Amino acid sequence: MNLPPTQPGASASTMLKVGILCHPTYGGSGVLASELALSLADRGHQVHLFSYDAPPRLARSSGPVQMHVAQGLPYPLFASTPHDLALVSAILDQHRAEGLDILHAHYALPHAVTGYLARQAALADRHRRAPKLVTTLHGTDITLVGSDPSYAPLTQFVLEQSDCVTAVSENLARRTREQFCRDFGSRACRIDVVRNFVDVDLFRPASAPHDGPPTVVHVSNFRAIKRVPWLVRAFDRATEGLDARLVLVGDGPEHAATRACVRELGLGARVLFLGERDALPELLAPADVFALSSSDESFGLSALEAMSCGTSVVATDVGGVAEVVAHGECGLLSPVDDLAAFAANLRTLLLDRARAQAMGVRARAIAVERFARGSVVREYESLYLRTLSATPWPFP
């Protein structure tokens, strides 16, 4: 930790050395971690991002974040290369060279475990203060993967061992406590909610409304939880007798099933598959509706990015989605398995463009008022400082 900030434009009073760990795959946690890394660096902190590959959002930026790609040595005895161990090594290497104040693990598995190992190894070095471990829970790291019996004891352990735990929504914080809180003093019970944010300057509304056919856009990594084939069925039902388009952005395990569904329903050219794309304002802003059909969703960062572009949202009322999408104000929510209700909501907004546009205006206002980047990044900064001062370094 150094005083004062060393880079022009730094607005934090203390310059921190922050190591961020995240998945480099397409997905909200990697997007959020990359955007946070870039924002912290902009504010004068020294930021290092550790992953087994460069996350797409970071790869396309010019910000001064130092990237540490750690893939590990493939070896015939390993069924798969243990890149999480290589990450521990890379973190230790950086810490020994220049010191790290904070390790911020995004997505509990494996990153909170990786961060825990690195912090414990650093604790053995009595000449340098060990970093504090902040763990941010994003969703399936608790609701699906982390609570599976094959990982649950380890998830519990690293939550309790983290110096600070945050969750991206109240819903996720509550579900984490229900699953993992067994001692009220422990970190698995004391979870700070720090919501996700969006760059409202990048994700902006289109300058003029489009005059093409009504359009629905969906962005995801096509995992089963996103239910993209279900969305295609709802779109088919919603657009009977209407010339409307469904634009699908992303790729993943359910891609083939989605294409099969489009073929089976004879939707042909009305459904466009755009594949993986990043920085999507130009795809989100012209759409009339953003659709989120997940069976579970702790937050819905893609919906927030669409809202910031002034696009209304039709979504399933699951997890923390209602904390982002205000029903009746900036979008319409429906019960998780009610395809007819979801389709009716889509049809309502596709037929009534004025209502969709009014909801889009409100969506933009909510994104700017509640989820703008600056205030959330400052929340993380204060949380880092609180965490650093809560448990003083024992070896002055």
**Binding residues vs ligand GMT (CB under 6 A):** 27-30, 32, 138-140, 168, 196, 225, 294, 296-301, 319
Query: Minimum CB separation from ligand GMT for residue 155, in Å?
Result: 14
- Cα 144 to Cα 274: distance, rounded to the nearest angstrom: 28
Query: Minimum CB separation from ligand GMT for residue 297, in Å?
Result: 4
Measured from the CB atom, the residue of 83 and 138 that comes closer to ligand GMT is 138
Q: At what angle do helices 83-98 and 108-123 cross, to 10 degrees?
A: 40
Measured from the CB atom, the residue of 18 and 324 that comes closer to ligand GMT is 324
Report the candidate in 90, 44, 93 with the shortest Cα–Cα distance to residue 69. 90
CA atoms within 13 A on the CB side of 11: 10
Measured from the CB atom, the residue of 128 and 223 that comes closer to ligand GMT is 223
Measured from the CB atom, the residue of 156 and 171 that comes closer to ligand GMT is 171
Report the candidate in 206, 292, 305, 287 with the shortest Cα–Cα distance to residue 245. 287
Query: Minimum CB separation from ligand GMT for residue 55, in Å?
Result: 10
| Two tokens, residue 41 | 């660096």
Measured from the CB atom, the residue of 197 and 235 that comes closer to ligand GMT is 197
Sequence-distant (≥ 6) Cβ neighbours of residue 381 within 8 angstroms: 12, 16, 40, 43, 45
Report the candidate in 141, 73, 93 with the shortest Cα–Cα distance to residue 113. 141
Query: Minimum CB separation from ligand GMT for residue 32, in Å?
Result: 5
Q: Count of CB atoms within 10 A of residue 395's CB?
A: 10
| Two tokens, residue 239 | 């657009």
Query: Minimum CB separation from ligand GMT for residue 130, in Å?
Result: 27
Contact 311, 282 (CB under 8 A): no
Query: Minimum CB separation from ligand GMT for residue 160, in Å?
Result: 22
Measured from the CB atom, the residue of 191 and 244 that comes closer to ligand GMT is 191
Name the residue number minimizing CB distance to ligand GMT: 139
